[in-house]
Amino acid sequence: MSVDMNKAIDLRSKCGHFRILVIGRANAGKTTLLKRVCGSADGPEIFDPKGKKIKLTTFEGSAARGLHDIENQLIFKNNPQFIFHDSRGFESGSIDETKKVKDFIATRARSNTLSEHLHAIWYCFLTDTNRPLLKAEEDFFNLDVTRKVPLIAIFTKFDGLITKAFNQLRNSGASWVEARKLQAQRAQEMLDTEFIGRLKLMTFPPSTYVQLDDMRKETSSCIELIEKTANAITDDILRLLFVSVQQNNIDLCIELALDK
């Protein structure tokens, strides 16, 4: 697919943003990831479904009481062409939360307006945890509503999993030098066994997989996430939309658009 500038301009006039649902447990690094994607040092502004801005103090108070609205729109000033919706995931195993996410995806899919559609799902998994995949999380990947939306599994804090692998090797009797040499390989094996292998057995597994280090580090990059998200979008119009809203990864997305 080559970039047709007239088509791109027409598309942006009809749909000026790309809408992503971000799912993940607490401490999965979702907010930090979104900041890096949008090139922002500040948190997002929060808007209700009608586009009315929610005062941060109100949002923080609601969050403190455990209230959470997936319909709220998170927008970063640095890149307002992205609209994010946040789900706290299914850590509690709540049936209500699962139904809320399912209904949200289904409702967006029924909309006749491209701008109201859900264009992609980023599911964040914290890798340095003792609870890799919960039953409720596995159930999510068996929901029929997810099959029409590009779904990218993001394994966050992979450097933490490497540390965990190092400690396991040391506890099993490996020397410090041996553990350092084998830690990356062991971490990849753990990721494949505890996460990717199990997800691939689901009825509707992720479209693709991305592993990221701690996004708080200056050396961390989200380029692979942007690239794999673009590749996971099979619809040429949506891919063009995704390319057109990029601001922090312009060179990469021009390359992707030309390649496609």
Per-residue pLDDT of the chain (260 residues; tens, 9 = 90+): 444 556 555 665 667 789 999 998 888 889 889 998 888 888 899 999 888 898 765 444 444 333 468 999 999 998 888 999 999 877 655 667 788 899 999 999 998 888 889 999 999 999 988 888 888 888 889 888 888 899 999 999 899 999 999 999 999 999 999 999 999 999 999 999 999 999 999 999 999 999 988 767 766 678 889 989 999 998 888 888 888 777 655 555 556 555 55
CB 215 within 8 A of CB 221: no
Query: How many Cβ atoms from other residues are within 10 Å of residue 122's Cβ?
Result: 23
Closest CA to 150 of 29, 28, 239, 260: 239
CA angle 19, 25, 27 (to 5 degrees): 105
pTM: 0.86
* Beta-strand relationship, 79-87 and 73-76: antiparallel
Q: The domain 5-259: what is its CATH number?
A: 3.40.50.300
Residue type, 23: I
| CA 13 to mean position of chain CA atoms | 26
Q: Where are the domains of the chain?
A: 5-259
Burial of 250 (0-12, 13-18, 19+ CB in 10 A): exposed
